[in-house]
Amino acid sequence: MRTFQTKFFVAALSAAVLALTVAGALFATTMRRQIDRRIESTLVAEARLAAELIARGTPLSTVPELDDEADRIGQLIGARTTFIAPDGTVVGDSFETLQGIAAMENHARRPEVLDARATGLGRARRYSATLKMDMLYVAVPVQHPSIAFVRVALPLTDVGNQLQAVLSATMTALGLALVGASIIAFVISQRIGRRVRLVADVARRYQSGDLTPAPLGFGDDEIGAVARALDRSVQEVGRRLAEQARDRSRMEAILTGMVEGVIVVDSHARLQLVNDAARQMLKLDEVGIGRPYVETLRLPAVVELVAAVLFGRTPDALQFSPPRDPQRTIIARAAPAAGAAEHGVVLVLHDITDLRRADQIRRDFVANVSHELRTPLTAIRGYVEALTDGNATPEESRRFIDVIGRHALRMERLVKDLLRLARLDARQEPLELVSCDTRGLADAVVADVTPAAVERHQRFAVRIEPGAESVRADPAKLHDALRNLVANAVTYAPAQTTILVDARRVDHRVEISVSDRGPGIPEEDLSRLFERFYRVDASRARDPGGTGLGLAIVKHLVELHGGNVRAENRPEGGAKFTIALPAARS
């Protein structure tokens, strides 16, 4: 893989190579031209000097003399020197012998000679047939009786040699510059590469979910600016995500804590959310979040309710029993959930089983009260009619009035008990807790019911065990509760039996029991005995005068103390009612 650093290095180096090559080429051509020009002008100066030397020197006329002179001057200036007569014949040449000179062709038409004749200076570059190489020629006119032009020439290979030296120096300089440039490019690319890698590392860390801010600065240039901008964006996004997560967990906490079941379905009919209450109410084992809601909510009525809202209708609330639990009643309401763009459905479930039960109890209660009142009222009305007929004997009349009195008394008891229950329900009887002497309390209760017991030759036994001598209670209320139990025992136990009132300490409770030798209570009725108006098969009751509210009041009074009351059958026969109260803290 080609890293950013490599690419940057290659780019910087290429730029340097290009720049250096162009500069080198420019330098080389300029140098070449300048050296060329200088060599040429030196050659011109040498030609002029040679012309001057000849013009001022002793006038020579023979060819051997002239050739010698040419050799001498050629030696002095280090270039081929040729003397040309006005007619163009060569009369001296530093590179040729006398025979050679004689064999040379006429030079009158040589370009440099023509130019020298025309302008006073001739220059030419060409292949020399004589020397078999490229030469640079410069010719100038001379004031001399037998020489018209002096021509000096330099082999172009010499020029090339001089140029070569400059070129190789330039190449060396370029090479060094290139090495320097690559070192600089390498160092810079490494530094930039390192910074880019640093930014990339931070970005990778952010990607993996670790949003702790980068501890390093990123520098002040563009890379730094980009890195800082990215860093800020990531931190901002991270902050928003955290905020969303907080909102979400808050919402989840609310939904989890709700008693109502909540189910959210999105506009594509996919399940979005199901809280715990909803799971329990609908007995959902598997919840496919993100899957079509019909896969999870199998009840056809509920599915239809959600579908109705999805189709834009406003359905009525739905009552149903959850699967495998016909005892419970749930009411479901579905409404559109306003989302950002689309509408889903919010389904809210209320478990109204308890409400319905309470409603049923209230209705039963009203029916019971009406029934309980109707019996004595009907009786009273009958006897009053019989009395008003005037046909009754005085004896009958007294009996009728007696019956009327008993029924009125029963109604009075009923109304009194109802009012007491109503007061207890409304918490209008404040609890005044004091430490009570258990024996005193039991004796007072026994004394209260003794007249009824004496009639039936029943006896009482009071037993207070150690640790139960005192109990923390509201004495009047505990007295009422205990009297109810003892009075029941007197009513339901046969004559000549003993009724036992005993108190004992059990762990952190004081238990007071009333046991009798009566018929006991059928097992199936034990659990319902404390309900209002509940009576064990009325035909068994010796005294139909009871209201059926006594034990309900006992339960209420005991629970007000934070205790409880229970009924059981004794193994030896008879019923046993136990009041358990929390013991006083010592």
Pair 280, 256: CB distance under 8 Å: no
Q: Give the helix/strand (H/E) hosting 320.
A: strand 318-320
Q: Cα 546 to the chain's mean position, in Å? A: 68
Tell me how many residues contact ligand ADP (CB under 6 A): 18
To the nearest whole angstrom, how small is the minimum distance from the Cβ of residue 367 to ligand ADP? 17
- Select 104 or 415, whichever has its Cβ closest to ligand ADP: 415
Task: Name every residue whose Cβ is closer than 8 Å to that of residue 546 and which is 6 or more positions away in sequence.
Answer: 491, 535
To the nearest whole angstrom, how small is the minimum distance from the Cβ of residue 501 to ligand ADP? 12
For residue 59, how many other CB atoms are within 10 A of its CB?
11
Among 63, 181, 380, 489, binds ligand ADP (CB under 6 A): 489
Pair 453, 488: CB distance under 8 Å: no
Q: Which residue is nearest to ligand ADP (CB)?
A: 546
The yes or no reply on residue 376 touching ligand ADP (CB under 6 A) is no
The yes or no reply on residue 400 touching ligand ADP (CB under 6 A) is no
To the nearest whole angstrom, how small is the minimum distance from the Cβ of residue 430 to ligand ADP? 24
End-to-end CA distance of the chain: 84
| Cα–Cα distance for residue pair 123/154, rounded to 1 Å | 12
To the nearest whole angstrom, how small is the minimum distance from the Cβ of residue 540 to ligand ADP? 7
Among 329, 470, 488, 513, binds ligand ADP (CB under 6 A): 488
- Select 330 or 521, whichever has its Cβ closest to ligand ADP: 521
Q: Which residues pair with 513 in a beta bridge?
A: 502, 578
The yes or no reply on residue 516 touching ligand ADP (CB under 6 A) is yes
For residue 518, how many other CB atoms are within 10 A of its CB?
20
Stretch that binds ligand ADP, among 85-93, 360-368, 449-457, 487-495 (CB under 6 A): 487-495
The yes or no reply on residue 492 touching ligand ADP (CB under 6 A) is yes
The yes or no reply on residue 481 touching ligand ADP (CB under 6 A) is no
To the nearest whole angstrom, how small is the minimum distance from the Cβ of residue 524 to ligand ADP? 13
The yes or no reply on residue 575 touching ligand ADP (CB under 6 A) is yes
Question: What 8-state DSSP symbol labels residue 270?
Answer: B
Taking the alpha carbons of 142, 146, 148, 151 in that order, is the dihedral positive or negative? negative
Q: Which residue has the tokens 């001379």?
A: 142
Tokens representing 354 are 């308890």
For residue 503, how many other CB atoms are within 10 A of its CB?
23
Stretch that binds ligand ADP, among 81-89, 107-115, 295-303, 488-496 (CB under 6 A): 488-496
Binding mask 527-566 for ligand ADP (x = CB under 6 A): --x-----xx----x----xxxxxx---------------
- Select 350 or 477, whichever has its Cβ closest to ligand ADP: 477
Tokens representing 313 are 């209708």
Task: Name every residue whose Cβ is closer than 8 Å to that of residue 172 and which is 6 or more positions away in sequence.
Answer: none
Q: Which residue has the tokens 């007929």?
A: 389
- Select 382 or 519, whichever has its Cβ closest to ligand ADP: 519
To the nearest whole angstrom, how small is the minimum distance from the Cβ of residue 486 to ligand ADP? 9
| Binding positions for ligand ADP, rule: CB under 6 A | 488-489, 492, 516, 518-519, 521, 529, 535-536, 541, 546-551, 575
